[in-house]
Structure 1
Amino acid sequence: MSQFGKVGPGHAQGQAGLQIFRTGAPTHDLSQRVVEVGPGHRLFLAVPKGPAPAGGWPVLYMLDGNAAFDFLTPEHLALAPGLVLVGVGYDTDRQFARERRTLDFTAPDGPGDGLRPDPVHQGRTAGGAAIFHDRLTGPLRAAAEAGLPVDPARRTLWGHSFGGLFTLYALLARPGGFARYAAISPSIWWDEGLIRRVAQAAAPAALPLLVALGDREKRSGSDGPPPDGPAPATMQFIADLRAHPGHDAQVHVLREHIHIQTLAGSFPLALPFAAAD
């Protein structure tokens, strides 16, 4: 296995070994539990072993929690010994719940609840981001933070791929949910016009935003060699956001990273970003 974890062609169906729960970590106590909310979620927690500061710990919420904690190592946690990590996953033994994340991480479009057939993946339903955001910042947050001294002004949201797309949606459409945002290889290609309409509908909040993406990423199933540079659509989207007063994202291009590698490749950036004052 490489330093980036499971990166073979079948990674989307891969099992989550969650080795960190067997090895433990010097800096954090680790736990996981199932929460009977919505479709059923698993929460993965890494809580600092030291005393909490007077204002409470900062906390990093990580979407696709099964995969995020599968790639997480004690060395990553040592980068932010005073940071709580909450992996928000699904009640599955796989790294990714593909149908659920398509529904939960894609923005609504149109009247009503915004749900509609996925225009890219036949047989899936999309558009549930507003519903999921309410679940994430409501009962899932309450379950994750129960009994923990957390600083509510220092919550960060992290997401990779479709999770990165949701992270941008949350920043633009629901900026009160978190104080900071880390969008990793966001799947802007899924519906570039929609995310641009979301951005235009509400002036982007001038909140800290970290974006990281690889220079060798390509869509699953696409032909040809990997590209030699970051996704132009993502770079242009961030450039457009920067045109708004007060908005200036941190952008990091991860060299020689394909799509799945940017997940763990972002941890050395995202954990200190979330732990910063």
Structure 2
Amino acid sequence: QPNRRYPVLYVTDADYAFPIIRQIARRVNLDGPVIEEFILIGLSYGKDDKGAASRRRDYTPTPNGPRNSSNDVHGGGAAYQTYLKEQALPYVDAKFRTDPDQRIMLGHSYGALLGAQIMFTDPAMFSSYVLGSPSFWYDKRHIMTMEADYARSHNDLPANVFMYMGGFETRGPTPRHMRDGDMVRDMQVMEQTLRSRNYPGLKVQSTILDNEDHLTVAPVGFTRALMAILPAK
């Protein structure tokens, strides 16, 4: 359809997320449309960077990284956000038949932390935010400070937000449970906080996926997110 414009889904950690989401989108629509057709854009790591170092720098909002990774640079999230807004998004919109009203950000772990940072500083960059296993714990839950700062000066947050978390991403007795922190609780607190703001333009939903941990949850989380954010019309 030559005049049709399509939603655009931007995914962080492209080396992992791009091929999985591409195959999920094909698979779920085999017997008929379940999710809407969309343009998939993978956000790669910095040129000549190792993936772990690139994401730690570009996906985090402050330089105060975990103590066990003190040799890595953190806190480049604002600069990376500027790159997305001023270079990546305009390039994609100029090259493809994009629908400017359906621009989606999907990130997992630190990628979801970046998504939340964007949502609380320049929410109009994207219409929807998928925050998968978000690292809200980062720097003493600094993201909650960013949320509170946004709430003090805004009466609305126009966004469709979908969060997912593995059931093992909390403290527990098995090796798949977390030894420190409680990411499930952090997600629940964020959802409760957002709902308490009563933003008229905000839609927020979340799911906890049983028998999944931080590493295994992504594929099923991606699937649930696509079905929630891009249901076939």
The TM tier, using the shorter chain, reads 0.7 to 0.9
Distance 1:210 1:117, change over 3 A: closer
Aligned to 1:259: 214
Post-superposition offset of 1:76: 2.7
* Residue 10 of structure 2 is aligned to residue 61 of structure 1: yes
Aligned to 1:135: 83
Are the counterparts in 2 of residues 59 and 274 from structure 1 also a CA contact under 8 Å?
A: no
Question: For 2:74 and 2:129, how far apart are their aligned partners in 1?
Answer: 22
* Residue 51 of structure 2 is aligned to residue 97 of structure 1: yes
**Which shows bigger deviation, 243-252 or 61-70?**
243-252
Question: For 1:237 and 1:75, how far apart are their aligned partners in 2?
Answer: 28
Between the two proteins, what is the percent identity of the paired residues? 23
Which runs of 5 or more residues in structure 2 are unaligned?
Answer: none
Q: Secondary structure at the match of 2:100?
A: strand
Are the counterparts in 1 of residues 65 and 139 from structure 2 also a CA contact under 8 Å?
A: no
Aligned to 2:186: 233
Q: TM-score, normalised by structure 1?
A: 0.69
* Residue 162 of structure 2 is aligned to residue 210 of structure 1: yes
Question: For 2:140 and 2:2, how far apart are their aligned partners in 1?
Answer: 41
Question: For 1:99 and 1:262, how far apart are their aligned partners in 2?
Answer: 22
Q: Secondary structure at the match of 1:188?
A: coil
Partner AA of 2:175 in structure 1: P
Correspondences of 1:145-224 after superposition (within 5 Å) = 145-203=93-151, 205-217=157-169
- Of residues 241, 251, 269 in structure 1, which corresponds to 2:224? 269
Question: For 2:20 and 2:146, how far apart are their aligned partners in 1?
Answer: 31
Instruction: Please give the per-residue CA displacement for 1:26-55, whole angstroms capped at 9, x wherever unaligned.
Output: xxxxxxxxxxxxxxxxxxxxxxxxx3664x
Instruction: Please give the per-residue CA displacement for 1:63-90, whole angstroms capped at 9, x wherever unaligned.
Output: 1111102433534333535111111112
Distance 1:127 1:230, change over 3 A: closer
Question: For 1:223 and 1:97, how far apart are their aligned partners in 2?
Answer: 31
Aligned to 1:11: none
Post-superposition offset of 1:188: 1.1
**Which shows bigger deviation, 193-202 or 262-271?**
262-271
Post-superposition offset of 1:100: 1.0
